[in-house]
């Protein structure tokens, strides 16, 4: 690893805003730090960096955020029962409702609406777990695309290189990477947790459907889009997941789901990993291939058994496309067709195309999803995980609305460069994106790690084992 000028390896004691969430939580519980001190550190960091990164699109006034922290300190001093996230600040992706805060969904069609009346289920759980909700993070319109820009708030930039995208649609990854937050939530139907994590040297977990309760509505029956945690380490992601997970009576896939557990002692058992360089010859940039090969060599040198895997992904891209676009049509109906001027052009096109899909096409797409799910269930009986690159390119230039070309392959739709992530959505299994290394120019490169269905915590434990070998999570951007 050769860090560039825009980052620093934190060998010395890091500032509070780069402490792990787990360490901060323990320090608050033990009285080593107050929640007010922790909140102040993150608020100051946000004041110093948000203008450059542009990720926190709604913020509680400072005095209100500090009042939340003071109440958390009072509860601890009074000996009250404390949740697993007690006293830690968090911000929520601006696609879902948070009581008392506006929800723009990055869309002109929603901008200017008043504050929401209630929290969505996972936000209510986060509050109950002791997290202090202090704002909203940027997202592209309705989460379309894996880079964060919209006509309401603009571009969210990469803390490692402000001339590049942070990734999306979970723009909040940039806030975590920059030290504005210890962790945040996100969602993923086509890489929205995983591409930004790969671009920003962070961790993002696409959870098993139902582990985190979905927002109430027709989409809550589908395993396609899920909510999940973002953090700087796998252990912190597991901590956050404890506060997001569990059942909700209006989220049918979450029935009988129990809150997940924190990680115990680091996993030391031998690892056997299935490996794919490109998920069946998808285009991957030379920069990413170089770092991915270096990652393999480091893991093998550390004793990880790696076996090249051959999985049939034929037809999966088209099946994902049909399911994804129908989801947008079911969400908004004909409004983007009848009033396209209110929406981003490619979003209106998505909905228009979905309105014409046949029943046969929908059935075939669902069948292809099941067959890929079954193939991965069988594969993972013999392996601890399946690994492939986290994204096909490094973070793209900020002026691009999406990546139009990788190596010699050109794309005419925004989602075509997302296939490395979209294909894994169709497995139905949990997928972890985590830091793997850096290019010679100092840009982060990640890997995706697929785990067994329903074993999200075990996947994070495997991720931590890989994390300790690769040893790059403590590389942070220099901002301000």
Q: How many CA atoms lie within 13 A of 462 on its CB side?
A: 26
Instruction: Identify the active-site residue in 107, 169, 225, 245.
Output: 169
Active site residue 93: yes
Residue tagged active-site, from 34, 104, 192, 276: 192
Interatomic CA distance for residues 221 and 320, integer angstroms: 16
> Can 192 be counted among the known catalytic residues?
yes
Q: Is 251 a catalytic residue?
A: no
Per the residue annotation, which of 93, 107, 187, 254 is the catalytic one?
Answer: 93
Spatial separation of the C-alpha atoms in residues 137 and 95, rounded to whole Å: 9
How many angstroms separate the CA atoms of 459 and 279, rounded?
20
Task: Supply the residues annotated as catalytic.
Answer: 93, 169, 192
């Amino acid at each position: 690893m050769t860090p560039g000028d825009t980052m620093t390896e934190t060998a010395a004691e890091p500032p509070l805003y780069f402490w792990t969430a787990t360490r901060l939580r323990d320090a608050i519980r033990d009285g080593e730090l107050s929640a007010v001190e922790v909140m102040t550190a993150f608020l100051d960091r946000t004041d110093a960096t948000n203008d450059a990164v542009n990720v926190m699109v709604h913020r509680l006034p400072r005095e209100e955020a500090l009042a939340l922290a003071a109440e958390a300190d009072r509860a601890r001093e009074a000996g009250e029962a404390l949740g697993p996230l007690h006293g830690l600040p968090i911000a929520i992706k601006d696609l879902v409702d948070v009581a008392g805060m506006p929800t723009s969904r990055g869309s002109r069609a929603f901008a200017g609406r008043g504050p929401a009346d209630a929290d969505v289920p996972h936000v209510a759980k986060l509050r109950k777990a002791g997290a202090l909700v202090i704002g909203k993070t940027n997202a592209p319109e309705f989460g379309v695309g894996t880079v964060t820009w919209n006509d309401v708030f603009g571009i969210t930039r990469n803390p490692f290189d402000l001339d590049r995208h942070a990734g999306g649609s979970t723009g909040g990854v940039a806030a975590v990477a920059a030290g504005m937050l210890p962790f945040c939530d996100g969602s993923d139907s086509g890489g929205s947790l995983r591409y930004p994590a790969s671009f920003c040297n962070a961790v993002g977990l696409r959870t098993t459907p139902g582990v985190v309760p979905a927002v109430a509505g027709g989409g809550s029956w589908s395993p396609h889009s899920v909510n999940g945690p973002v953090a700087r380490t796998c252990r912190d992601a597991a901590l956050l997941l404890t506060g997001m997970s569990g059942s909700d009576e209006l989220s049918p896939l979450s029935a009988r789901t129990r809150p997940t557990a924190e990680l115990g002692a680091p996993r030391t058992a031998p690892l056997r990993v299935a490996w794919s360089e490109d998920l069946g010859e998808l285009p991957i940039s030379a920069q990413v291939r170089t770092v991915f090969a270096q990652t393999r060599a480091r893991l093998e040198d550390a004793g990880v058994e790696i076996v090249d895997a051959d999985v049939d992904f034929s037809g999966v891209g088209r099946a994902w496309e049909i399911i994804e676009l129908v989801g947008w049509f079911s969400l908004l109906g004909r409004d983007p067709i009848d009033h396209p001027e209110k929406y981003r052009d490619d979003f209106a096109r998505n909905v228009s195309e979905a309105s014409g899909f046949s029943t046969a096409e929908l059935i075939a797409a669902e069948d292809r999803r099941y067959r890929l799910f079954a193939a991965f269930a069988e594969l993972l009986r013999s392996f601890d995980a399946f690994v492939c690159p986290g994204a096909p390119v490094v973070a793209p230039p900020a002026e691009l609305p999406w990546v139009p070309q990788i190596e010699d392959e050109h794309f005419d739709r925004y989602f075509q460069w997302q296939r490395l992530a979209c294909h894994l959505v169709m497995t139905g299994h949990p997928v972890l994106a985590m830091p793997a290394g850096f290019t010679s120019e100092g840009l982060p490169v990640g890997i995706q790690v697929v785990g067994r269905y329903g074993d999200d915590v075990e996947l994070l434990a495997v991720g931590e084992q890989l994390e300790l070998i690769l040893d790059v999570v403590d590389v942070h951007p220099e901002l301000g």
